Amino acid sequence: MSPVARPDAEPGGSAAKQNTPEFDVVIVGYGPVGQLTARLLGGRGWRVGVVERWPEAYKRPRAVGFDDEIARILAAAGLARQFPYFSEPAPDYEWRNAAGQTLLYYNRRRIGASGWPQVNRFHQPHLEQALDARVRELPSVQVRRGHEATELADLGDLVEVTVRGPDQQHYTLRAAYVIGCDGANSFVRERMRTSVTDLGFFFDWLIVDVIPHDPWPQINLQICDPARPTTLVSGGPGRRRWEFMRLSGESVEDLNRPETAWQLLKPWNLTPDNATLERHTVYTFQARWADNWRDGRLLLAGDAAHQMPPFAGQGMCSGMRDAVNLAWKLDLVLRRTAPLTLLDTYTSERRAHVQHAIGDSIELGKVCCVTDPGAADARDEAMLKADTRPELALPPIPPAVLGPGLLHSSPDGQPVPPAGQLARQGWVRAPDGRTGLLDEIVGTGFHVMAMADPCPHLSTGQRDFLASIGARLIHMAPPDQQFTPEDAQRAGLDMVGDLDNVLRDAGHAAAIVRPDFYLYGTAASLTDLPELVDELRAGLARTTP
């Protein structure tokens, strides 16, 4: 792929001649979010340089949960066959008080809207190994471990990154864009013009990762005991995690000792004789976000852009959503299919979505992080009165939808529902008789899905535009309709049997799904589809959040 000049400069102009970046994108940080971002951009053929200050991957577990949406994202990145290696479904999640009564119960035995189990517990080092292997397959990606970014200079048409190598010598990388995936203490964020909104909700918890020598049951609990709020969840296949809240009067130093960890594990009948203590550390959970995730050619993703309490299990998940949202937009900008301002929708869409996740996490944290016995009794009474729907005792939380951006919108810029909602992925039948999830059968990218052949309703110009953004035209035929590969070839589109009746059940004749799996918009009839396509084309041409 050719070097990228400033998107608003004429090809071959002075900017292109004087400033030729050696990378299209430099990513600072190589945790799961940086790895996924590198995989997505490198998979589209862009030249990606990664600098990571640590010479080796962190070998101990950190995050332990991802949902069905993230499973779809990871499957699209080529990891589906490796899920059993690093993850296992977590069917139930129960919140109990000190007396053992159930305050909240989440039954997550179902397959989620994205076609995968709703909750999965995983071992992060093994996930990172799998992601790293997929990244290393890409010839356009260079990963430099033990190399630390020390300075950034946004020159307007490219960014210069000063890097200190393992030999302590400095050198410069030049890129069209730099993405900071470098964690809560982000080097990139510190060099951007952005403020941070901090909700002031933070607590210290001791994290204890254990490998029991004998099989342990699949139990996922929050124990809301004011004497010691405690979490017990799966840490991936063969592993368990405990989290213990630091109490008033306890020092971080005293809490963060192996003797303390074993003492706290003793009531669970775990000792050095029957278990291995893999990791213990004290984390301070926070609730905050950067107000701007883009400053010129500098961008943020993951913990560099936001941090949240762990109670909804959405920390790493939110970072991976950042990666998939940003990657397809940056791809269109680099290809000059969309203007630079498309990147402003990254902040406006994702910040609103992540604020939902943070709000959800805080409300759950308020249930668990209660150490006053009287307040705990009042909480228990209120939640137990809710009977079979104890979650009704929680304050209402807004739905998880994207904020204003590149979505089918009303004149005031607000998304028109269901635009901005996560699209459902169902099972389909291919023309050759194979069955599988939609992504597996037809691939990913923009999907224009319709209950009948959409081609007769679209002009040549509209079809050319859709081809220019890599959109797939998909006829979602009724489950019992018979067709052959020749039928699909003659129609010039993907044809599948909609085994789960995704469109019919939603009441849509057609839908446009973005590469991040969120609905751009829907059409009640196929005659409305051309207008939706035209709106998408106009939105890409003049993108503003």
CATH number for the region 14-64+123-196+288-353 comes to: 3.50.50.60
Same fold, 88-117+203-285+370-400 and 427-541: no
The pLDDT of residue 61: 84
Q: Are 342 and 221 in contact (CB under 8 A)?
A: no
The pLDDT of residue 218: 84
Name residue, tokens 């001791």.
206
Q: What is the pairing mode between strands 92-97 and 221-224?
A: parallel
Topology of the domain covering 88-117+203-285+370-400? D-Amino Acid Oxidase; Chain A, domain 2 (3.30.9)
The pLDDT of residue 184: 95
Locate the domains of the chain by residue range.
14-64+123-196+288-353, 88-117+203-285+370-400, 427-541
The contacts of residue 365 (CB under 8 Å, 6+ apart) are 201, 203, 285, 309, 311
Is the entire prediction scored with pTM above 0.85?
yes
Intervals of the chain under pLDDT 50: 1-17
Q: Are 66 and 310 in contact (CB under 8 A)?
A: no
The pLDDT of residue 349: 97
The pLDDT of residue 343: 97
Dump pLDDT digits (tens) for 55-88: 999 888 899 999 999 999 999 999 999 999 999 9
Chain Cα centroid distance, residue 409: 23
Dump pLDDT digits (tens) for 18-30: 567 899 999 999 9
Q: Which pair of structure tokens corresponds to residue 157? A: 């048409």
SS3 (DSSP) at 27: strand
Q: Are 480 and 459 in contact (CB under 8 A)?
A: no
- The verdict on domain 427-541 having CATH code 3.40.30.10 is yes
DSSP letters along 264-298, please? HHGGGT--TTTEEEEEEEEEEE--EEES-SEETTE
The pLDDT of residue 398: 55
Helix %, strand %, coil % of the chain (to 5): 35, 25, 40
For helices 344-368 and 315-334, the axis angle rounded to 10 degrees is 180
The pLDDT of residue 8: 37
The pLDDT of residue 7: 36
Q: Are 73 and 79 in contact (CB under 8 A)?
A: no
